[in-house]
Amino acid sequence: MARYLPTIDIWEITEDGRASLQIGQWVKAGPDGPKGRFYGHGSSTVVAFLPNARGRYRSYMATIRDYGRTVRSR
């Protein structure tokens, strides 16, 4: 099984790099950007950023994870 990498800047990796990221990998948006979890890459890149959870962490992560599955299946 693949191991997770240290937090990756999602803006600095190539399309191929995004496609090869493991689901659940910690990412950030820019050098000082928010931290989030990567959930898929297909027609778009799906990341659940922590500041967007606003107190409902589990339901937010579940919703974004499910959306990531639909993006990956296309």
Closest of 30, 25, 18, 6 to residue 71, by C-alpha:
18
Instruction: Look at residue 74 in the predicted model and tell me its pLDDT.
Output: 64
Task: Summarize pLDDT for 40-72 with one digit per residue, the tens.
Answer: 988 889 999 988 888 889 999 999 999 998 887
Neighbour count for residue 53 (Cβ, 10 Å) = 15
Q: Which two tokens stand for residue 73?
A: 């299946």
Count of residues making up the chain: 74
pLDDT of 2 > 90? The answer is no
Alpha helices in 1-74 (DSSP H): 15-19, 57-73
Residue ranges per domain, the chain?
A: 8-73
pTM, two decimals, is: 0.84
**Alpha-carbon span 47 to 63, nearest angstrom:** 11
Q: What single-letter amino acid sits at 13?
A: I
